[in-house]
């Protein structure tokens, strides 16, 4: 299983903080994103309508990354700390 | 020392913690506070969310990057999360070095990277009761260009 986490505004809009996805559904982060856009009717427009950063195993990535069972993938808006 | 915490911090305590060696000739600190106005709207409260685990790793990485560029003897980064009110302290960065140049530069560098890389998100409650997630500022990204090597 792959653990998917959502944070901040994105989490509120999607109505989920985390979910588990079968590793067979997502060989890489591009496939995972595709899977998520079809997870619920409104998710495609939410995920595609705003800047969405991703981290794999708690490190930011901006390219397509191969996934395996046990990985943690997080999606979140641009950060606003400090 | 790196800490992500709900509780407030005491500047005097943190300053004394940084005065740990006789070779230290300069301590520079920065403190970020909850402001009462943002984008022209009156703010009453702020909640800060973070990504536990990744946040701490990210702060460690930023401090390591600073240590590779400047001579840092001791450093402290504290960032609060949870519910905060106007005038509350949000973030503390303290750098102890032999000379002020390294301490000033490293402190500014760490804050600039923290604002653009560390996974924290602010949600403001306005005086009229409405809530709003704070948008990232393009100017913060542009600020990073000054650190390009």
Nearest to B15 by CA among B35, B1, B4, B5: B1
User: Could you report the per-residue pLDDT of A30-72, keeping only the tens digit for each?
Assistant: 999 999 999 999 999 999 999 999 999 999 999 999 999 999 9
User: Could you report the per-residue pLDDT of B5-64, keeping only the tens digit for each?
Assistant: 999 999 999 999 999 999 999 999 999 999 998 888 899 999 999 999 999 999 999 999
Residue B41, pLDDT score: 86
CB A60 to CB B117 under 8 A? yes
| Residues of chain A with C-beta less than 8 angstroms from the C-beta of B115 | 79-82
> Is residue B100 within 8 Å of residue B64, measured between CB atoms?
no
What residue ranges do the domains of chain B occupy? 2-31+51-120
* Tokens 């402290």, located at residue: B76
| Residues of chain A with C-beta less than 8 angstroms from the C-beta of B88 | none
Q: Scan residues 15-54 of A and list those with Cβ closer than 8 Å to B.
A: 51
Nearest to B69 by CA among B107, B106, B29: B106
Locate B80 and state its tokens: 């609060």
Query: Which of these CATH numbers, 3.40.710.10, 3.30.1600.10, 3.90.1170.40, 3.20.10.10, describes B2-31+51-120?
Result: 3.90.1170.40
CATH superfamily of A2-76: Beta-grasp domain (3.10.20.30)
Which of the two residues, A61 and B128, has the higher pLDDT score? Answer: A61
> Is residue A80 within 8 Å of residue B138, measured between CB atoms?
no
What residue ranges do the domains of chain A occupy? 2-76
Between CA B76 and CA B18 the distance in angstroms is 8
Residue B92, pLDDT score: 98
Q: What is the CA radius of gyration of chain A?
A: 12
Residue A76, pLDDT score: 98
């Amino acid at each position: 299983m792959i653990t998917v986490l959502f944070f901040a505004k994105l989490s509120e809009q999607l109505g989920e903080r985390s979910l588990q996805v079968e590793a067979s559904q997502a060989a890489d982060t591009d496939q995972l994103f595709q899977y998520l856009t079809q997870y619920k009717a409104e998710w495609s427009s939410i995920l595609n309508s705003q800047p969405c950063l991703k981290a794999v195993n708690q490190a930011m990535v901006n390219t397509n990354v191969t996934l395996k069972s046990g990985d943690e993938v997080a999606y979140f808006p641009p950060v606003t700390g400090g | 020392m790196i800490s992500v915490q709900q509780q407030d911090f005491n500047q005097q305590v943190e300053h004394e913690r940084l005065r740990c060696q006789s070779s230290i000739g300069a301590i520079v600190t920065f403190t970020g506070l909850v402001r009462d106005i943002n984008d022209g709207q009156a703010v009453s409260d702020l909640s800060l969310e973070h990504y536990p685990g990744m946040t701490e790793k990210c702060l460690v990485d930023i401090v390591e990057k600073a240590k590779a560029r400047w001579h840092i003897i001791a450093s402290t980064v504290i960032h609060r999360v949870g519910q905060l009110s106007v005038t509350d302290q949000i973030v503390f960065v303290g750098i102890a070095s032999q000379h002020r140049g390294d301490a000033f530069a490293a402190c500014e560098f760490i804050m600039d990277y923290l604002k653009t890389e560390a996974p924290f998100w602010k949600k403001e409650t306005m005086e009229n009761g409405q809530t709003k997630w704070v948008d990232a500022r393009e100017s913060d990204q542009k600020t990073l260009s000054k650190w390009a090597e």
